Structure 1
Amino acid sequence: MAHGDITHIDIPVADLAAGAAFYAELFGWKIAEPPGFEGYPMWHAPNGISGGGLAPRSEGFAQPRSYVEVDSIDETIAQAEASGGSVAMAKSPIDETSAWAVIVDPDGNHIGLYEGTPGG
């Protein structure tokens, strides 16, 4: 994937098991909790490329969130802030080769940022 590609979509659900069953049946997604990501079932679409996770619905995370791959989260955050955006969640490591963050655009949309190597 390259800078600007959508890499991941999180879908907030009230009940992880019920959400997993719904999306698996509806779209044929394969859904499992990879080691190290317990409580965060990840889905893969039949195309083998698209994917994301089911996350517990919590305050401030009530709508699906797309994640965009960037070359540098730090540079993208600086550019977003210079263009009228803000940071909802600071850069945080996923593993030793990957990190994520969430920015807010000037219209209030939350967009996830992803930097690194998928799967570590």
Structure 2
Amino acid sequence: MAHGDITHIDIPVSDLGRAAGFYSDLFGWDIAEIPGFEGYPMWQAPNGISGGGLAPRDDRFTQPRSYVEVDSIDDAIEKATRAGGSVAAEKQNITDSSWWAVIVDPDGNYIGLFEGVVNPS
């Protein structure tokens, strides 16, 4: 994927098993826990490209969140804050070669940022 591509969509759920059954039956999504990401079942759409995760719902995570791939999370956060945005979740590791963060745009929309490679080849 390239800078600016939507790479992942998290859906907040209160019951991971119930949600996995619902989305799998409704959309034909392949949903499974991947080693190293237990408790965070990931979904893959039939097109083999679209995907995301089912994440525990909490007071700060109540709506689906898209993650946009960026060349540099640090640069994207700096640019977003200069343009009137803010940071909801600082840059955090996913793997040794990938990171995520969440910004808030001036209208209050939460947008996830993704940088790196999850499965380097």
Q: Distance in 1 between matches of 2:119 and 2:8?
A: 12
Residue 118 (structure 1) shift = 3.4
Q: Distance in 2 between matches of 1:98 and 1:65?
A: 18
5+ residue gaps, structure 2? none
Q: 1:114 aligned to 2:111? A: no
TM-score normalized with structure 2 length: 0.98
Q: Which residue of the partner structure matches residue 47 of structure 2? A: 47
5+ residue gaps, structure 1? none
TM-score normalized with structure 1 length: 0.98
Q: Distance in 2 between matches of 1:119 and 1:7?
A: 14
Q: 1:60 aligned to 2:71? A: no
Identical residues among aligned pairs (%):
71
Q: Distance in 2 between matches of 1:62 and 1:119?
A: 28
SS at match of 2:47: coil
Q: 1:96 aligned to 2:96? A: yes
Aligned length: 120
Deviating beyond 6 angstroms after TM superposition, the runs of 4 or more aligned structure 1 residues are none
Q: Distance in 2 between matches of 1:3 and 1:118?
A: 15
